[in-house]
Chains A and B, each alone.
Chain A
Amino acid sequence: MKKTTRRSDIVDALSLPDLCRFCHADEEWVIELVEEGVLTPVGSHRGNWRFVGTSIVRAKKAGRLSRDLGINAPGLALVLELMEQRDAVRRRLARYESL
């Protein structure tokens, strides 16, 4: 049995190639999502893009939805927005349900 003892860290900023590797996607697809406004990288051009926080979570979710349900980039933009609204409403509801 092998032991891995290297230190783990939080994934907090990914470059374009790193994000592609992270969500098994190609660059073109990620760029399309940036153009749709689904992902908002920090940085002035593709070479120095950094994807942080919600963009990483969104990219992964978008990858799953695109692969499993065949949703294209504009569709993903709408679906992700509606899902985030739904989650926010659910959290609010949970807050009031206990009162």
Chain B
Amino acid sequence: MDFKDYYQILGVTRDADAAAIKKAFRKAARKYHPDVNTDPDAETKFKDVNEAYEVLKDPERRATYDQLWQAPQGGSRWAEPPPGWEEGFRFSGHGPQGASGYSGFFEEMFGDGMGAHFGGDSHGRIEVPIEDAYAGAARKLSLRTPAVGPDGRVTLEERVVNVNIPRGILEGQHIRVPGQGGDLFLEVNFAAHPVYRPEGKDLYMDLPVAPWEAALGGHVVLPTPDGRVDLRIPANARTGQKLRLRGKGLPGTPAGDIYATLKIINPRADTEQARALFEQMARDLAFDPRAGTGA
């Protein structure tokens, strides 16, 4: 387990007073707050900053922590993590996280800290593929929750929770999983998709087309999470033009739409025949793409 230098994390000296510590925390919290900063590393940094503040703002905790500086750092006390500290909610896309969100170092020193959720609700996040929102899905989550045993000792209890991903779920919505002591709320995030960008019930995508498909119009067959659909491309279509596939977005009443943005892809002129075709167009078409630029 790593020793954590809370002073360094907040960027304050070891003799900093309460006001300086609060100021440093607020500044760092604004910078790294996961709602403000969408950088993937921000959440980890924010947790560190938060944890450092939880310790340094409290005179008793700070005194306990300061005593560690008397002993050599990384001594045997920190060689072994306490049992179970690395476990807890393991949701895809997010690293392991203690039940309380604090590091093992913190929990070793102060227990699990700020009022664990005994008998209360718990919150987490779950990442699901967009396709699950079309068909619905069943997932198994393994999570550990603190529980008080008959002898009054607190242990981490492992549970397997079956989560039903309802059809029509949207980004940012919550799934409620009823439990004995309280409910588990899971905030849904869609996993990044190579083709689709969700926005509410609608999906956006780029649709590559050949210059002649764009010029002449025609039909293309498009695979969507809802099955293959036939899409009509109008003649003289432009790059950036948006075509709507009504009702093919995320399910609901009414269902969302898919917006396909056309992107004209030029074939390479690397064969004799391809060059000849381009040369013929250059010769026979009166086309100036720069008309209107004053060139």
Contacts and interface: CB of A to CB of B under 8 A. Distances in A.
Whether A associates with B in a native complex is: yes
Contacts, number: 89
Interface in A19-35: 21-22
B162 A11 contact: no
B158 A99 contact: no
A45 interface: no
B181 to A, nearest CB: 11
B104 to A, nearest CB: 22
Given A4-B179, A22-B121, A91 B197 contact: yes
B204 A95 contact: yes
Contacts of B204: 91, 95
B206 to A, nearest CB: 5
A98 B174 CA distance: 30
Contacts of A68: 29, 33, 46, 50
A25 B142 CA distance: 28
Interface string B235-256: 0000110000000000000000
Interface residues of B, number: 41
A8 B176 contact: yes
Given A3-B160, A65-B35, A8 B178 contact: yes
Nearest to B204: A95
Contact of B30 (A4, A9, A69, A95): A69
Interface residues of A, number: 31
Given A65-B35, A69-B29, A91 B174 contact: no
A57 interface: yes
Given A21-B121, A22-B185, A95-B197, A8 B30 contact: no
Contact of B239 (A3, A5, A99): A99
Contacts of B185: 11, 22
A40 B163 CA distance: 30
B178 A6 contact: yes
Contact of A64 (B35, B176, B199): B35
A8 B179 contact: no
A22 B120 CA distance: 10
B157 interface: yes
B26 A1 contact: no
B128 interface: no
Contact of B166 (A5, A9, A56): A9
Given A8-B177, A64-B35, A99 B30 contact: no
9 contacts: A4-B180, A7-B178, A8-B186, A10-B176, A11-B185, A57-B172, A61-B35, A69-B33, A98-B206
